[in-house]
Structure 1
Amino acid sequence: MTSSSTRHVIIIGGGASGVLLTYQLLHRPKSHLRVTLIEQRPDIGRGIAYHTGNPDHLLNVRASNMSALPDQPDHFWRWLSARDAGAPLRPDPYCFVPRRIYGDYLASLLEQQISDPTDARRLSILQGTCVDINEGPACVSVKLDDGRSLVADTVVLATGHDTRANRPAHANPWAPPSAAPIAPNATVLILGTGLTMVDYVLSLLRDGHRGPIVAMSRRGLLAKAHRHIDALRIEERDVPFGASISNLLRWLRDRIDRNAAQGGDWRSVIDGLRPYTQRLWHELPRASKRRFLEHARAWWNVHRHRMAPEGEARISQAFDRGQLTLMAAKMINIEPDNTGARVTYRRRGDANPLDIQVGAVVDCTGIVKDPRATLNPAARSLFDRGLARVDPLCIGIETDRNCAIISRDGAASRSLFAVGPLTRAAFWEIISIPDIRHQCAALAALLVDTASDHQPKLDTQIGP
């Protein structure tokens, strides 16, 4: 039962991060917080990742690791197994489930709070776009695009990945190819060779596309695929925390080589390192962080963020029949014409520019990497008001290890927080559910403790 003294938390963003945090705030023992969840889409739990309706778009983490609840590691698998017999159930916990089904799972986490009148008094879900956030001495005010204003004790930014604005003459990578539309026999140029590219190729193939598909990126690297292997147990004392990036990568290669000599798979070493990646990032010298971002991030990403085996099979078939081509190159210019566009590019290591006529260009280079270029009005307002700043490496909103947003003058806020991919400057590996669920649970514990005595306990660190 809420009361006039019940503290109010507003969460901006109803995708995965926002839903996980909302669930934790409502279910935390002794929690009496009131939560308002603001999402611009009509459905919660979807975001960019899980709004797709294409059954070929699979999770890139196996079902056994996708529980939303840190203390119930089989929660998603049990939910999936309990679905009716007509649902597309996969054979075992090591499977990779369609992302649209995972979106259903995330939405189901809040179904009880939405349907139960008692719980509904603690949770409000508003559809709209937050356009302004202002922190006062006693509260935080939020304004929506339709003119509505709300006041809360705490505001948490959970808006997820900041996608690029769709450029003229480019097809939208988050929409089905039929929305472009793209002629079945046209040559399609995809900029970027990561998992977003994989999704778009799978969409083209599902729609019956027959023309050539060219995927282009600076290094021309393709995400590796998962295998049915278990993570290697790596002792914390064996990890070289605080080492330079050169020494750290040398240590990692040595562990992989030793594991391979014993018949192991490199994937088990990468997965075994996962519990330590946030601490490794935190203790990595800034110069080494910069070197990693410039020179090693692309290789790390293709080994760390892998595609489902089913997706790999479809992609391999497209390569084998010559329909899909991977190219290490940089686009120089795009000139739209009446049949699509004339694209000028330069292959890696070659100074001579080349041309290609394409029917469509799709920018799958992913998220906005410079937070200062954000199109998110909520984040923009924080920058404009001096309530937030970009981290020194320019990869995210700067937060402390408790997810508190740091202002332009360097002070950690007591009422403004962020979770999920926005916090990658502090946490780095914070884009997948296994990482975000722990972050949200820890922040919920902090906010519930704060509400219990009205004094933030900022000495309890969420990060490593």
Structure 2
Amino acid sequence: MIIVGGGASGVLLAYQLLQHPDSDVRVTLIEKRSEIGRGLAYHTGNADHLLNVRAANMSALPDDPDHFWRWLSTQEHGERLCPDPFCFVPRRVYGDYIASLIAPHLAEADGARRLTIIRGECVAVSEGRSGVTVSLADGTRQLGDVAVLATGHDAAIPRSAWHADPWISPSVPGFSQDATVLILGTGLTMADYVLSLLRAGHRGPIVAMSRRGLMARGHRRISPCKISEDEVPFGAKGSTLLHWFRQRIAAHIAEGGDWRGVIDAVRPFSHRLWHELPQASKRAFLEHARAWWDVHRHRMAPEVEERVARAIADGQLRIAAAKLVKIAGGTIGGRAHYRRRGRSEIETLEVSAVIDCTGIVRDPRATANPAVRSLFDQGLARCDPLRIGIEVTADCAVVGADGAPSQRLFAIGPLTRAAFWEIMAIPDIRSQCAALAGKLLQGRPIVVPALDAPALAAAPDHQAAM
């Protein structure tokens, strides 16, 4: 069995496959980075880059919700890093935890070892009658019965020489500490990059720009309210669902609650809500409501929120609701032309660098990942109608251009957001991986479980792990 991608999704699936007591399955994990288990989310070495999920909710195992918390308590300085379950630990530490899951399998004697790690870039995946072939950039090939794409978040390709990628270069580029920096995007990646600038002693102005100028809200110590499944208007059009949601928030606040409690309470139903939402309502949500949902759903750690707020109050960081029109200039300094939201005139800003924090690729066909492109080129995969991911079935099988699901090609994690939507969070990915492992090992139909509502009420603030 071949897993393409050794970030969190790939490692969680490998762990589930190898943990099964009655299986002799052999797993080949392909990852181009030097470290396993980190991907885009957890490769940062900056201690200021924190999880946006509290430690108590970050177990990698769906049947052991305290696993990460126990692991953390055994680590050196673990108590200092995380004095209570509500803490938000550095993302690098979580990458260590993910890597630790498969460490025992790598320590096995060669004859008994069922896990092989190949460090290289997968450039193509093909399917034949007897199996799959995975081709690497060095010209070698790996053969297997099944291939699973676990390629994670696909970062946007820099649009010009002016657009630096914060994921590829998480440190501060070579410009003056007094320079003006323009950041495109005002989400969680922007917050991380601002912290990188401040940590490096940057003194110059920082302007963060997005179409609506919305920033992620912060976490609070709250618990989800109680929402039963029969209360949720499944299958209703978007306007009806929005009206119900607003009414539910207003009622909860009137009772002394916090809006965060309502958002957390609908988490167990998110997969079904998205699946049963009419297509026109899905499209309208992506166009008009997604930005509002994201800033309330994907929240900042309190420490990050405080530092970003301080930078705004000090006047160093400015948030602008505007659209970048173009960048013009030389190789050292340039001029950003932009239009503020609700205005027609074009304004300019002298900048020394433009950092692209606009996030993941919106159209799967614009991917820089050659393995995913190869599936499109061969007709082994197709975009979903909304063009937010590749099309997969409910059991994670990749759907080909002819509409037929593959028997040998599967996908997990963010690549499957068209079908599952809320599939960036570890609680969702861990359940998806456990279900797919059961299917692959025993041939059982996959049913990706919803998050457990009672458990969620006892352990609030399950949020997307980026």
In which range does the TM-score fall when normalised by the shorter chain?
A: over 0.9
Is it true that 1:168 corresponds to 2:161 in the alignment? yes
Displacement after TM superposition at 1:30 (Å): 1.8
Residue 183 (structure 1) shift: 1.1
Asked whether the equivalents of residues 172 and 196 of structure 2 are also in contact (C-alpha less than 8 Å), the reply is: no
Distance 1:119 1:398 in 2: 38
Q: Which amino acid aligns with 1:322?
A: G
Write the distance in 2 (CA, Å) between the matches of 1:177 and 1:280.
Answer: 35
Equivalent residue of 1:251, what SS?
helix
SS of the counterpart of 2:36?
A: coil
Evaluate the alpha carbon distance shift between residue 240 and residue 124 of structure 1 in structure 2; reply closer, same or farther with a 3 A threshold: same
Counterparts in 2 of 1:400 and 1:463: CA distance versus 1, 3 Å: farther
Question: Given the superposition, is the C-alpha separation of residues 89 and 210 from structure 1 closer, same or farther in structure 2, using an over 3 Å criterion?
Answer: same
Structure 1 partner of 2:86: 94
- State the distance in 2 between where 1:310 and 1:352 align: 37
Task: Name the structure 2 match of 1:4.
Answer: none
Q: Which whole-Å deviations, capped at 9, do the CAs of 1:353-405 have from their partners, x for residues lacking one?
A: 00000111101001111001111111111111111000011000100000000
Distance 1:86 1:281, change over 3 A: closer
Are 1:440 and 2:426 counterparts? no
Asked whether 1:400 is paired with 2:393, we answer yes
Is residue 340 of structure 2 the alignment partner of residue 374 of structure 1? no
SS where residue 407 of structure 2 aligns? strand
1:145/1:175 CA distance change after superposition, 3 Å? closer
1:25-174 correspondence runs (5 A) = 25-85=17-77, 88-117=80-109, 121-166=113-158, 167-174=160-167
The CA deviation string for residues 216-275 of structure 1, in whole angstroms up to 9 with x for no partner, is: 000000000000111222111111110111111111111100000000000010001101
Distance 1:434 1:192 in 2: 26
For 1:462, give the aligned amino acid.
V
Query: Which residue number in structure 2 is paired with residue 462 of structure 1?
Result: 448
Question: Kindly tell me: are residues 220 and 120 of structure 1, through their superposed partners in 2, closer, same or farther at Cα, counting changes over 3 Å?
Answer: farther
Q: What is the Cα deviation at residue 88 of structure 1?
A: 4.5
Q: Quote the offset at 1:175 in angstroms.
A: 4.8
**8 A Cα contact 2:171 2:196, kept in partner:** no
Determine the C-alpha separation between the residues in 2 that align with 1:142 and 1:463.
Answer: 30
Sequence identity of aligned pairs in percent? Answer: 62
Tell me if the contact between 1:278 and 1:463 (Cα under 8 Å) persists in the aligned partners.
Answer: no
The residue matched to 1:131 in structure 2 has which SS? strand
CA–CA distance in structure 2, aligned partners of residues 148 and 138 of structure 1: 19
Would you say the 8 A contact 1:343–1:356 is kept in 2? yes
Task: Give how far 1:207 is off.
Answer: 0.6
User: Structure 2 vs 1, CA of residues 416 and 309 (structure 1 numbering), >3 Å: closer, same or farther?
Assistant: same
Q: How does 1:323-334 map to 2 (within 5 A)?
A: 323-334=316-327
Q: Give the Cα–Cα distance (whole angstroms) in 2 for the partners of residues 221 and 276 of structure 1.
A: 25
Q: Any unmatched runs of 5+ in structure 1?
A: 1-8, 451-456
Aligned to 2:239: 246
Matched letter for residue 120 of structure 2: G
Q: What TM-score comes out, normalization by structure 1 length?
A: 0.95
**Structure 1 partner of 2:6:** 14
The offset of 1:188, in angstroms, is 0.6
Q: Distance in 2 between matches of 1:424 and 1:78?
A: 30
Provide the rounded CA distance (Å) in 1 between the counterparts of 2:138 and 2:80.
39
Report what 1:213 is aligned to. 206
Is 1:400–1:406's contact at 8 Å kept on the other side of the alignment? yes
Cα distance change of structure 1 residues 445 and 177 upon mapping to structure 2, 3 Å threshold: closer
CA distance in 1, matches of 2:285, 2:171: 38
Distance across 2 between alignment mates of 1:338 and 1:31 = 57
1:194-205 matches, within 5 Å, as 194-205=187-198
**Aligned pairs for 1:345-364 within 5 A:** 345-364=338-357
Deviation of 1:336 after TM superposition, in Å, equals: 2.9
| Separation in structure 2 between the aligned mates of residue 400 and residue 351 of structure 1, nearest angstrom | 44
> CA contact under 8 A between 1:81 and 1:89: conserved in structure 2?
no
Alpha-carbon distance in structure 2 between the residues aligned to 1:86 and 1:80: 5
> Do the aligned partners of 1:20 and 1:437 also contact (CA within 8 Å) in 2?
yes
Aligned partners of 1:119 and 1:345: how far apart in 2? 61
Matched to 1:409, the amino acid is: D
Amino acid at match of 1:379: V
1:421-436 to 2 correspondences below 5 Å = 421-436=414-429
Structure 2 stretches lacking a partner, 5+ long = 451-466
User: Which TM-score applies when normalising by structure 2?
Assistant: 0.94
Matched to 1:61, the amino acid is: V
Change in CA separation of 1:175 and 1:318 when aligned onto 2, cut-off 3 Å: farther
Kept in 1: contact 2:391–2:416 (CA 8 A)? yes
> Offset of 1:346 from its aligned partner?
0.3
CA–CA separation in structure 1 for the residues paired with 2:170 and 2:13: 33
The question of 1:286 aligning with 2:279 is answered: yes
What is the rounded CA distance, in whole Å, between the counterparts of 1:177 and 1:123 in structure 2? 31
Give the deviation of 1:440 after TM superposition.
0.4
Write the letter of the residue equivalent to 2:39: G
Residue type matched to 1:135 in 2? E
**Counterpart Cα distance in 1 of 2:195 and 2:428:** 27
SS at match of 2:116: strand
SS across alignment from 1:414 = strand
- SS at the partner of 2:347? strand
Q: Is the 8 A contact 1:177 1:207 kept in 2?
A: no
User: Structure 2: how far apart are the matches of 1:32 and 1:109?
Assistant: 18
- TM-aligned CA deviation for residue 89 of structure 1: 2.3
Verify the 8 A CA contact 1:63 1:94 in the aligned structure 2.
Answer: yes
Change (3 A) 1:31 1:337: same
CA shift at 1:411, angstroms?
0.4
Distance 2:44 2:360 in 1: 17
Distance 1:224 1:86, change over 3 A: closer
Choose which of 291, 310, 335 in structure 2 pairs with 1:342: 335
CA shift at 1:338, angstroms? 4.7
Amino acid at match of 2:135: K
Q: Distance in 2 between matches of 1:404 and 1:374?
A: 20
For 2:112 and 2:173, the matched residues in 1 are separated by 41
